[in-house]
Amino acid sequence: KEEVGNHLPDNVKKYLAKNNIKLYIINATNIADEIGLGNRTNTILQSAFFKISNVIPYELAVEQMK
């Protein structure tokens, strides 16, 4: 978290705070490695998107990704 914050310009940090925008940091490479997906980071990021956004029920999203 702090490392990313060091790389974001101040105007971006202010914009995120002013607009109550959440910034998620997802190490998809490490997660994919840990669960045996190799370099399939897109699957991890899709899963995170559906979990965070609730655009469709998470369980349905997981089922559709299989």
Range of the domain at 11: 2-65
**What value, to the nearest 5°, has the Cα angle with vertex 48 and ends 42 and 52?**
150
16 contacts: CB under 8 Å, gap ≥ 6:
8, 23
Distance in angstroms (rounded) separating the CA atoms of residues 11 and 14: 5
| Structural domain total, the chain | 1
* pLDDT tens, position by position, 15-52: 999 999 999 999 999 999 999 999 999 999 999 999 99
pLDDT for 1 equals: 59
CB 23 within 8 A of CB 16: yes
